[in-house]
Amino acid sequence: MQVGGATICQGDIVVLDADGAAVVEAPRADEVLRAALEREERERVKRAQLADGALSYELDGLRERLEGSSGR
């Protein structure tokens, strides 16, 4: 069936919280969980850096993208 443009089949994993509803195709549950745990770890590290004053503008290479590799 379709809910809000998302296909949901019997047995797909539905994740519900304050943000909304995500759907994981049943055969991908392991793979998506692994990727989500890796993402969580990366965000944990980054969060600590940001709390110490680092900027995502620098960490993610966004300054270079916006201002050019010369930085000028």
Partner 1 sequence: MTSYDICAQLARLGSATVYEAGGRGRYVDADLIQVIPGSRTAGPARTVACGQDDNLMAHAAMASVVPGEVIVLTMPEPRAVGIVGDLLATQAKAQGAAGMLIDAAVRDLEELIELGPLGPRQGRHQGSAGHDRRTGAGRRRDDLPG
φ/ψ (deg, to 5) at 2: -110, 130
| Residue 50 within binding range of partner 1, rule CB under 8 A | no
Tokens of 66: 């916006």
Told to check if 38 binds partner 1 by CB under 8 A, we report yes
Q: Which is nearer to partner 1, 28 or 67 (CB)?
A: 28
49 binds partner 1 (CB under 8 A): no
Whichever of 19 and 52 has its CB closer to partner 1, that residue is: 19
Q: Are residues 28 and 15 in contact, defined by beta-carbon separation less than 8 angstroms?
A: no
Count, residues near partner 1 per rule CB under 8 A: 38
**Do the Cβ atoms of 12 and 25 come closer than 8 Å?**
yes
